[in-house]
């Protein structure tokens, strides 16, 4: 059987099969299957011949076929809205690496922003019989969580609230309170929060905790929000904060992308110096935060740590389906660079 491309015949793709390995090794097809099944009984000399033949032919076990036979796909769905943006991109990459390491098949499901996109994403995820689901921060609809629960799948949510499931959350409120106190201690009395109208749980928590603590400590706090937590949204928030006569002297940006936009606006458009005129702190510690053009002081979320914790929760849930839900709170560590230094800091820049 052939396909045609530009009028020329091409052979249809054909994977090396277990039968090919069996013929080359001079053993039965079942012996090949046992050799590639952990714990199955096969004589050492037979296994050696099979592995030599498999290596020569380039044979790989068909995990898809095995999953169908065992009614277990090994697929773990990673559900996110705008997974390519900011910290979610790094968290998705870390989750994929950890899942592959344990023998799972990560499948990224972009939940989309319309009802049609959401329905298509749900069909893809549950039509392929995923064995577990991880819902990332952002705003994937709760319908993904409800479908996973109704299908009895182990489920972990990262960076969002959800009832009666396993959760991992960065302690956004604690970080925001620490920063508000550090700003006030450094002598800043007019503060600002550069946020987002996206209204995700992490965004709301950072804003509310920062405003409440700064107000409690006697500072004035201005809040400006862009439409989203991206660079364009950060530019709009920056414009709104710095068009008034009484400009803030310190700003907490809801994430690093917003902080980058804020810094570029202050330096490139207004000619201000950072931190001499305005102190800026972000959240996430993206790799770009350490670049010479930013040297951003920011709170670090470790994507690999979050990924490992999430996969551990999945494994625990698979082992004990009826156990009580687990909720983990992970500290965000302040990475001190050049855009703000707390009064008590005596260490060199990170």
Say whether both 49 and 126 belong to one domain: no
Check whether residue 97 and residue 246 sit in a common domain: no
**Contacts of 5 by beta carbon, 8 Å cutoff, 6+ apart:** none
Please tell me the predicted confidence (pLDDT) of residue 61.
Answer: 60
Q: Which of 118, 262, 238, 254 is nearest to 198 (CA)?
A: 254
| Per-residue CA distances from 123 to 49, 71, 115, 136 (Å) | 43, 18, 12, 18
Residue 347 maps to a domain: no
pLDDT digits (tens, 9 = 90+) for 315-331: 999 889 889 999 999 99
Question: Which CATH number belongs to the domain containing residue 20 in this structure?
Answer: 1.10.260.40
SS3 assignment, position 327:
strand
Helix (H) / strand (E) containing 90: helix 86-101
- 231, part of any domain: yes
Q: What is the pLDDT of residue 339?
A: 98
Q: Which domain covers residue 157, as residue numbers?
A: 72-170+303-331
Residues 249 and 102 grouped into a single domain: no
In a domain, 342, yes or no: no
CATH number for 200 = 3.40.50.2300
Same domain, residue pair 287 and 326: no
Same domain, 21 and 126: no
- Rounded Cα distance between 229 and 197, Å, is 8
Pairing of strands 190-196, 220-226: parallel
Residues 297 and 182 in one domain: yes
Residues 183 and 267 in one domain: yes
- Going by C-alpha positions, the residue among 41, 48, 134 that lies closest to residue 95 is 134
Domain boundary (262, 282, 301) is at 301
| Residue 338 is assigned to a structural domain of this protein | no
Same domain membership, residue 86 and residue 163: yes
pLDDT of res. 138: 62
Helix (H) or strand (E) segment spanning residue 5: strand 2-5
DSSP H or E segment with residue 256: helix 256-264
Asked whether residue 350 is assigned to any structural domain, the reply reads no
- Residue 283 CB partners (closer than 8 Å, separation 6+): 172, 175, 206, 252, 253, 254, 255, 256, 259, 298, 299, 301, 332
pLDDT recorded at residue 150: 76
Would residue 101 count as lying in a domain?
Answer: yes
pTM (two decimals):
0.79
DSSP 113-126: SSHHHHHHHHHHHH
Bridge partners of 225, per DSSP, are 195
Rounded Cα distance, 195 and 222, in Å: 11
Rounded CA gap, 11 and 347, in Å? 64
**Cα–Cα dist 39/9, whole Å:** 44
Helix 231-241 and helix 256-264, axial crossing angle in degrees, nearest 10: 50
Q: Does residue 15 share a domain with residue 81?
A: no
SS3 content of the chain, % helix, strand, coil (to 5): 45, 20, 35
**What contacts 204, CB < 8 A, 6 or more positions away?**
none
In a shared domain, residues 288 and 313? no
Query: Which positions of the chain have pLDDT values less than 50?
Result: 1-2, 68-71, 346-350
The SS3 of residue 109 is strand
Nearest to 141 by CA among 165, 117, 167: 117
Decide if 57 contacts 270 (C-beta within 8 A): no
Per the structure, the count of domains in the chain is 3
């Amino acid at each position: 059987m052939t396909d045609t491309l530009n009028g020329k015949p091409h052979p249809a793709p054909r994977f090396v099969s277990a039968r090919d390995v069996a013929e080359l090794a001079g053993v039965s097809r079942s012996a090949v299957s046992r050799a590639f099944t952990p714990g199955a009984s096969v004589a050492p000399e037979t296994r050696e011949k099979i592995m030599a033949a498999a290596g020569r032919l380039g044979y790989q076990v068909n995990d898809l076929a095995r999953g169908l036979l065992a009614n277990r796909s090994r697929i773990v769905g990673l559900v996110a809205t705008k997974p390519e943006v900011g910290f979610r991109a790094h968290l998705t990459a870390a989750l994929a690496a950890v899942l592959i390491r344990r023998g799972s098949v990560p499948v990224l499901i972009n939940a989309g922003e319309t009802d049609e996109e959401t329905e298509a994403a749900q069909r893809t995820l549950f039509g392929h019989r995923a064995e577990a689901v991880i819902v990332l921060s952002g705003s994937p609809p709760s319908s993904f969580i409800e479908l996973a629960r109704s299908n009895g799948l182990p489920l972990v949510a990262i960076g969002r609230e959800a009832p009666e499931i396993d959760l991992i959350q960065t302690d956004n409120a604690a970080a925001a309170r620490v920063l508000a106190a550090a700003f006030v201690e450094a002598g800043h009395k007019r503060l600002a929060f550069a946020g987002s109208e996206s209204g995700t749980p992490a965004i709301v928590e950072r804003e509310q905790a920062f405003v409440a603590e700064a107000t409690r400590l006697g500072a004035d706090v201005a809040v400006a929000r862009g439409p989203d937590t991206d660079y364009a949204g950060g530019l709009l928030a920056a414009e709104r904060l710095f068009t008034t006569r009484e400009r803030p002297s310190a700003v907490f940006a809801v994430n690093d992308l917003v902080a980058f936009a804020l810094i570029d606006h202050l330096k490139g458009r207004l000619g201000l110096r950072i931190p001499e005129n305005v102190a800026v702190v972000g959240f996430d510690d993206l790799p770009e935060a350490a670049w010479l053009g930013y040297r951003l002081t920011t709170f670090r979320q470790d994507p690999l740590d979050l990924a490992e914790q999430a996969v551990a929760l999945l494994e625990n849930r698979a082992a004990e389906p009826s156990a009580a839900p687990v909720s983990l709170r992970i500290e965000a560590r302040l990475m001190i660079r050049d855009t703000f230094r707390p009064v008590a800091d005596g260490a060199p820049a990170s």
